[in-house]
């Protein structure tokens, strides 16, 4: 589900942003050690696949939406740390360019 802006308090948005940024920093460090250069295009295709799956939204109560993610497939192919980066990239693109979820709630959506 994508959490829109204004759905969570600003304090919660800030806390979740800090937590998600910390986890993504750890994920980037671990991914740089484990992901080979030849697998970067495959990760890009996997992130694009996740992005495509997330564009098919189903409305649910309380003004938000639910959808498939595809992060499990990335985790199977690359491991959980690399999958976290791939799905986060898809979430950032959706929030900025398509208004799916909120910019302030991005940390909560990534988490």
Residue 36 scores a pLDDT above 70: yes
Q: Which residues contact 98 (CB under 8 A, 6 or more apart)?
A: 55
Contacts of 110 (CB under 8 A, 6+ apart): 16, 20, 24, 84, 87, 88, 91
Contact between 67 and 58 under an 8 Å Cβ cutoff? The reply is yes
Q: How confident is the model at residue 28 (pLDDT cuts 50, 70, 90)?
A: very high
Q: Quick one: pLDDT band at residue 1, thresholds 50, 70, 90?
A: low
């Amino acid at each position: 589900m994508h959490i829109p802006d204004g759905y969570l308090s600003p304090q919660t948005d800030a806390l979740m942003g800090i937590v998600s940024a910390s986890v993504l920093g750890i994920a980037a460090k671990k991914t740089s050690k484990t992901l080979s250069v030849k697998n970067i295009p495959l990760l890009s295709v996997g992130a694009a696949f996740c992005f495509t799956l997330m564009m098919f939204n189903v409305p649910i109560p309380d003004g938000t939406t639910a959808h498939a993610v595809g992060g499990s497939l990335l985790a199977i192919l690359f491991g959980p740390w690399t999958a976290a980066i791939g799905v986060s990239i898809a979430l950032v693109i959706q929030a900025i360019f398509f208004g799916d979820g909120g910019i302030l709630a991005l940390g909560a959506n990534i988490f």
